[in-house]
C-alpha cells in the first residue's frame, strides 16, 4: 500500500517538475527535426531576403503555405518554449539567490 502511494507521489512530482517539460520539448523538437529541415529553412530565409522585414514576410508566407503537420509541430515548439520561459521566471522569483535586497 505504501509503495503504491509513493509511486503516485513520485509520478505527480515528475509531472510537475521541469524534467517532464524538458522531455516534452525534446520529443517535439525531435519530431519536428524528422519532419522539417531546419537547415533548409534557414538557408532559404537567408537567400530569399536581405532585411529583417523581408525575412519576416518570407517566413510568414512559408508558414501559411506549410502543411498542417508542420504547423502543429511549430505550434508545439512555441508552446513548449513558452512553458519553459514561464517556469524559468517562476524559478527565478522563488530562488533566494536571485532575490534583490
Q: Is residue 85 part of a domain?
A: yes
Domain count, the chain: 1
Nearest partner of 58 among 41, 75, 73, 74, judged by Cα: 41
Reference 17, options 76, 87, 79; nearest CA is: 87
60 lies in some domain: yes
pLDDT over threshold 80, residue 14: no
Residue range(s) defining the domain that contains residue 56 = 19-98
Tell me, yes or no, whether 12 lies in a domain.
no
Residue 87 pLDDT > 70: yes
Query: Of 33-42, 60-69, 83-92, which range is least confident?
Result: 83-92
Predicted confidence at residue 58, as pLDDT, reads 84
Please indicate whether residue 60 or residue 97 has the higher confidence score (pLDDT).
60
Please check whether residue 67 lies inside any domain of the structure: yes
**Is 45 a domain residue?**
yes
Q: How far apart are CA 42 and CA 86, in angstroms?
A: 27
For residue 5, being part of any structural domain is answered with no
pLDDT band for position 56 (cuts 50, 70, 90): confident
Answer whether 0.95 is exceeded by the pTM. Answer: no
Write down the mean pLDDT value for the chain. Answer: 80
Is 6 domain-assigned?
no
Q: Evaluate whether residue 84 is within a structural domain.
A: yes
Amino acid at each position: 500500500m505504501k509503495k503504491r502511494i509513493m509511486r503516485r507521489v513520485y509520478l505527480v512530482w515528475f509531472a510537475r517538475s521541469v524534467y517532464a517539460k524538458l522531455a516534452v520539448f525534446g520529443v517535439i523538437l525531435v519530431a519536428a527535426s524528422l519532419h522539417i529541415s531546419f537547415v533548409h529553412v534557414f538557408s532559404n530565409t537567408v537567400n530569399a531576403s536581405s532585411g529583417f522585414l523581408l525575412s519576416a514576410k518570407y517566413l510568414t508566407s512559408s508558414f501559411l503555405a506549410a502543411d498542417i503537420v508542420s504547423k502543429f509541430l511549430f505550434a508545439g515548439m512555441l508552446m513548449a518554449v513558452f512553458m519553459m520561459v514561464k517556469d524559468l521566471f517562476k524559478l527565478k522569483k522563488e530562488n533566494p539567490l536571485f532575490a534583490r535586497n
